[in-house]
Structure 1
Amino acid sequence: MTTSDMVGLRIKTVRRQRGLSQAQLAHPELSDSYVSLIESGKRTPTPAVLELLAQKLDCSLSYLVNGVTAEQMEDIELALGYARLALENGEVSEARTRFAELLTDNNLTGLTKLRQDTEFGLALATEAAGDLDEAISLLTRLRNEETTDERVVELAIALCRVYRDSERLTEAVEVGEGILRGSTRPAWTDLLVELGATLLAAYLWRGDMLRASQFAAELLNAADTLGTPRSTVAACWNAALVAQSAGHGEEALAFAERALAVQSESGHPRNLARMRTAFGSLILRVRPDRAQAARDTLLRAAEELAQTSASSVDLARCQIELARAEVVMGLPAEALGHVEAGHEILPGNVRALGAEADLLLSRAHGALGNFTEAGMHARAVRDRLASLPDSRRAAGTWYAAAETMELLGETDEAVEAYQRALACAGL
């Protein structure tokens, strides 16, 4: 049945419950023939007529429009608010349960926007719980529905991000480019810049440096035009990543510091914590002599992430970067504690980050003289990377694994890893 059919049926049902004829309901403002057309679904009443009929029928406008009473609508909105609050507070399991339970409420069926809001919340909670395949399924299903332009972009951002974190880089790029690279791309907005930043990261991960560099410049120009904190943060941060990948470390730090400063003033707590994690990681790579400062930044990020709706991937990444800082500082025992904590919560399908975790475990065990464990984790790096497509990120991890194997005296394995690094880099 169409929406008009359902509205007409509700009016007819309530009219009969009230013991009114069509003429009695219509008089004096409307004609009985017009009421008949509305009840049969052949006319769509205006908002003013709907409000009039609700008053004459002594029922809520909400019931006539959506099939739920005002009290039921309030209960649904309250339940959705509690689910969102749980997610924002980092209570991921509870949030996931609340969103899922709300979707079983039959009153939600006719409330398209609220149902879509609930399903989107469930997808984000599922992503935060580390169930990336299920999150992809939920987001894909939502993308096939008719929704608002803003929600279309929000779904693309989330799906591009989850595909990227799952190392499904081709699909991540397809999602982002489907909106941003079309001939009818809309004018830049904060949301579109954020989508562009997510797409740019996918370019970097797969080693498409030319496209990443060109796109970084485009995003910076868009952010300058918009002049908003959100667009500035997204554009500057990704410009930092491109600069780092190009070997311009100090330029990368300058862009990153600007992004972090703006984010600190006006950003969402989860995004601020994620950026702090990435900033600490960037310091380690560009200025290893500032490892203590990087460690302090990462410890603060870990505290902040624990109080937000950060995903298990975000939490694991922070612990892995903390372990990297401890290794740089010559504290392998402390590194083991952090990387094991990250390893434990990392989803199994996040193989590239898992390979980095195994690499750090190998190096920490090697520094402690635990050569059997070091060799085991070095081989685990190889096993994780073997099934990944060639990419710039994979090349870097293969190279680091080769160096580690060489230090452990596993010459043949080291040679093979060096060869894989070259292949991933296209050499």
Structure 2
Amino acid sequence: MIGQDLVGQRIKAVRRQRGFSQAQLAHPELSDSYVSLIESGKRTPTPAVLELLAQKLDCSLTYLVNGVTAEQMDEIELGLSYAQLALENGEVAEARTRYAELLGDSGLAGLPQLRQDAEYGLALATHACGDLDGAITLLNELRQHASAAMAPERHVSVAVILTRCYRERGDLTQAVQVAEGILGGAVRPIWSEGLIELGTALLAAYAERGDLLRAYQFGAELHAAAELVGTPRATVLALWAEAIVAAETGRLDDALALAERALAIYSENGEPRGVAGLRVDYAQIRLMARPFEAAACRDMLTRVETELQESSIGATFKMKCAYHLTRAELLLGRPERAREHIQSVLNMVGEMPKDLQTEAHLLASEAMARLGRSEEASGELTSVAELLERAPSNRQTAHAWLTAARVLERIDEPARSVDAYQRALACVGL
């Protein structure tokens, strides 16, 4: 039902509640036939006419236009603000509950833009909770039912998240199709920050499915596009995407150089929470490229950890910081200190996406194995196996099984180790 039909129905309902005829409502400013046309949805009243009718009916203009009172509108907008704040602060389960409650309120029926905001927020929160199937369903429904009313920027944002969801679920073909549906046409849209971000999601999908030549070529194109856009954020996104491809292809020194450039630019232009988060990701690449610099990485991450504790940044980045601190301490041969950090990770892991849960339990198993706590390491690996049983068969899952196999060897569980090796091979089709 279109908006003018709903407005007409509300005018008709309130008129009848007040005991007015159409002629009584119309007189003297309007004709009763004009009121009849408005109520039947055949005429769209001007703002001035709507304001006049609201005065005559002794109801709020907000109610006639949107189907809610001014007080209800304030409550809905406040609810959306609280849900968004919860999502930004990493309280993803709380955000998901709040968005779902808002969408269950009939008051949103006449507020298509706010309803779309709530549906998009619910999809983001569902993804952040690790429910990839649920997020994909919500995003596809949003694209299908709200497409006509969706701003171009929102179209791109939905495509970015949908591409990431498909990639994280292991459906790389779908991930590529979603992004290429916007970026790969005969006539490519004018580059923007949003399209650069979509390009980085596409680049990650190329790299993960092993299409490294295409990833390398597209990375260069993305870098050129970022220069055209000319904003610091676009440049940082493109540099980071190139760093990911370099790391995937084993060019760790190149990856580190690109990550350092991205961090330098963002440190000057980004907001503090984002800079702290990027430092955590930079530490990951630095530990891979230069494990002999683990002490410097640990010191940097310790400073970032303090910054994160004092900020409202999401729990995901706090967890990642503790995770990489654990890795640094293990590289420095300090498993006891690593155990303290990994406990922080495990305390936060419950609401995280499944891939992060897997990485956390894997690292915990390594720390426990090095401490000689074989029983605890075995328990962590049982959690890993349960998560990997439901994971997609891709290179990331294969690597996780391979890591698990090596830890199982270390704690002298040969049968489980062989099984883990076999599962790793199966994930890559061997």
Matches within 5 A, 1:302-381: 302-303=305-306, 307-308=311-312, 310=314, 312=316, 314-346=317-349, 352-371=355-374, 373-374=376-377
Separation in structure 1 between the aligned mates of residue 241 and residue 114 of structure 2, nearest angstrom: 33
- Equivalent in the alignment of 1:139: 139
- Equivalent in the alignment of 1:233: 236
Separation in structure 1 between the aligned mates of residue 355 and residue 106 of structure 2, nearest angstrom: 42
Matches within 5 A, 1:280-291: 280-291=283-294
RMSD: 3.5
Deviations 1:347-402 (A, max 9, x none): 59955544544443343233323345556656776675566555443454455455
Measure how far apart 1:166 and its partner are.
4.1
- Equivalent in the alignment of 2:6: 6
| Pair 1:260-2:263 in alignment | yes
What secondary structure does 1:242 align onto? helix
- Equivalent in the alignment of 1:224: 227
One-letter code of the match for 1:214? Q
Is residue 269–residue 308 contact of structure 1 (8 Å, CA) maintained in 2?
no
Q: How many residues end up aligned between the 2 structures?
A: 426
Is residue 235–residue 262 contact of structure 2 (8 Å, CA) maintained in 1?
yes
Matches within 5 A, 1:154-233: 154-183=157-186, 185-233=188-236
Separation in structure 2 between the aligned mates of residue 351 and residue 17 of structure 1, nearest angstrom: 54
Closer, same or farther: CA 374–55 of 1 in aligned 2, 3 Å:
closer
Separation in structure 2 between the aligned mates of residue 235 and residue 39 of structure 1, nearest angstrom: 53
Measure how far apart 1:41 and its partner are.
1.6
Separation in structure 1 between the aligned mates of residue 128 and residue 305 of structure 2, nearest angstrom: 15
Measure how far apart 1:234 and its partner are.
1.2
- Equivalent in the alignment of 1:36: 36
Is residue 399–residue 424 contact of structure 2 (8 Å, CA) maintained in 1?
yes
- Equivalent in the alignment of 1:393: 396
One-letter code of the match for 2:242? A
Closer, same or farther: CA 425–129 of 1 in aligned 2, 3 Å:
closer
Separation in structure 1 between the aligned mates of residue 384 and residue 93 of structure 2, nearest angstrom: 30
Deviations 1:137-186 (A, max 9, x none): 43333233224132222222223333434444444334333333344543
Separation in structure 2 between the aligned mates of residue 342 and residue 264 of structure 1, nearest angstrom: 26
Closer, same or farther: CA 325–90 of 1 in aligned 2, 3 Å:
same
Taking only the aligned residue pairs, the percentage that are identical comes to 56
- Equivalent in the alignment of 1:71: 71
- Equivalent in the alignment of 1:125: 125
One-letter code of the match for 1:310? G
Measure how far apart 1:405 and its partner are.
5.3
What secondary structure does 1:120 align onto? helix
One-letter code of the match for 1:82? Y
Structure 1 gap ranges (5+): none
Measure how far apart 1:64 and its partner are.
1.6
Is residue 250–residue 286 contact of structure 1 (8 Å, CA) maintained in 2?
yes
Question: TM-score scaled by structure 2?
Answer: 0.83
Closer, same or farther: CA 366–24 of 1 in aligned 2, 3 Å:
closer
Measure how far apart 1:226 and its partner are.
0.6
Measure how far apart 1:238 and its partner are.
0.9
Separation in structure 2 between the aligned mates of residue 160 and residue 311 of structure 1, nearest angstrom: 23
- Equivalent in the alignment of 1:100: 100
One-letter code of the match for 1:11? I
Separation in structure 1 between the aligned mates of residue 376 and residue 89 of structure 2, nearest angstrom: 37
Measure how far apart 1:5 and its partner are.
2.2
Which of 91-100 and 200-209 deviates more?
91-100
Is residue 315–residue 348 contact of structure 2 (8 Å, CA) maintained in 1?
no
Closer, same or farther: CA 382–102 of 1 in aligned 2, 3 Å:
closer
Deviations 1:206-236 (A, max 9, x none): 3321222122222211111111122122111
| Pair 1:86-2:86 in alignment | yes
Question: TM-score scaled by structure 1?
Answer: 0.84
Is residue 204–residue 392 contact of structure 1 (8 Å, CA) maintained in 2?
no
Separation in structure 1 between the aligned mates of residue 174 and residue 337 of structure 2, nearest angstrom: 37
- Equivalent in the alignment of 2:279: 276
Separation in structure 1 between the aligned mates of residue 312 and residue 356 of structure 2, nearest angstrom: 21
One-letter code of the match for 2:314? A
Separation in structure 1 between the aligned mates of residue 395 and residue 131 of structure 2, nearest angstrom: 25
Separation in structure 2 between the aligned mates of residue 87 and residue 56 of structure 1, nearest angstrom: 43
Is residue 326–residue 335 contact of structure 1 (8 Å, CA) maintained in 2?
yes
One-letter code of the match for 1:180? L
Separation in structure 2 between the aligned mates of residue 280 and residue 322 of structure 1, nearest angstrom: 9
Separation in structure 2 between the aligned mates of residue 238 and residue 26 of structure 1, nearest angstrom: 62
Deviations 1:312-361 (A, max 9, x none): 5x554433322111111111122223334434543599555445444433
- Equivalent in the alignment of 1:245: 248
